[in-house]
Amino acid sequence: MHRSFRPISCLIAGTVAVSVAGAASGGTKAVLDVRRLTLQNVGAENTEYRDRRALRLIVSPEAEAADIDATFAVLPYPPIRDFVIEADVAGIPVAAETTARGFVGIAFHIAEDRNSFEAIYLRPTNGRADDQVRRNRAIQYISHPDYPWHRLRIEAPGQFESYVDLEPGRWTRMKIVVVGARASLFVNDAKQPNLIVNNLKLGERSGRVGLWVGPGSIAHFSNVVIKPISALSKPHELTKDSELTSAFVR
């Protein structure tokens, strides 16, 4: 049974800045109280991290013990199908000696009962590992509950994970473009996608969007922006903000 878990040690009352874009003007900013987030098997608090305000997430002890993938904070916005989400993220393992990788990412197409979703996330400690195989697994796509990372790795090796240069604990910019059954991830200033998923396992559906953290990890989020896509023929090929913004409506 999934349970929401709000405190990490003690919940710090505060806000996290999340922007929802409108038309080409860039939209308006909404400052969200952490209590407005729907927490699924995570603890959350507002904090300062690397000289900026941020949201901090960690997996609840119960979910950690049960090895549950559904560990995220749902943003308080309606279900959406086609969109761009951008966020600054930073992930580190909770402990120094661990198999955790500082898992941090974005969940999307989250069902109203939160029992199914998709996510693209980073494994920051893999980005500069001495083992080339680990480097090749710096980025991951999953679909819960039927397609966890290990099933995808066995059935389609190399198709749903890829390499990108990452550093644990450092702010990293993620941009995910989702249209229909396709998703593309751009990391930092990449002009081409670092990961392309052509066959999202949940297909073409609407759902909620959330901030995701994995087991044994501490995740921080800042500067989150969601931009709905109204009409764009090949959004995965467009990377400039000016090109993307012109196609967004509130």
The 3-class secondary structure across the chain, one letter per residue, is CCCCCCCCCCCCCCEEEEEECCCCCCCEEEEEEHHHCEEECEEEEEEEECCEEEEEEEECHHHHHHCCCCCEEECCCCCECCEEEEEEEEEEECCCCCCCCCCEEEEEEECCCCCCEEEEEECHHHCCCCCHHHHCCCEEEEEECCECHHHHHHHCCCCCEECCCCCCCCCEEEEEEEECCEEEEEECCCCCCCEEECCCCCCCCCEEEEEEECCCEEEEEEEEEEEEECCCCCHHHCCCHHHHHCCECC
All structural domains of the chain with their residue ranges: 15-245
Mean pLDDT (whole number) for 40-58: 94
| Percent of the chain's residues with pLDDT above 70 | 79
CATH architecture, domain 15-245: Sandwich (2.60)
> How confident is the model over 188-204, as pLDDT tens digits?
989 999 999 999 999 99
User: Considering the entire predicted model, what is its pTM?
Assistant: 0.82
Confidence check: pLDDT of 234 > 70 = no
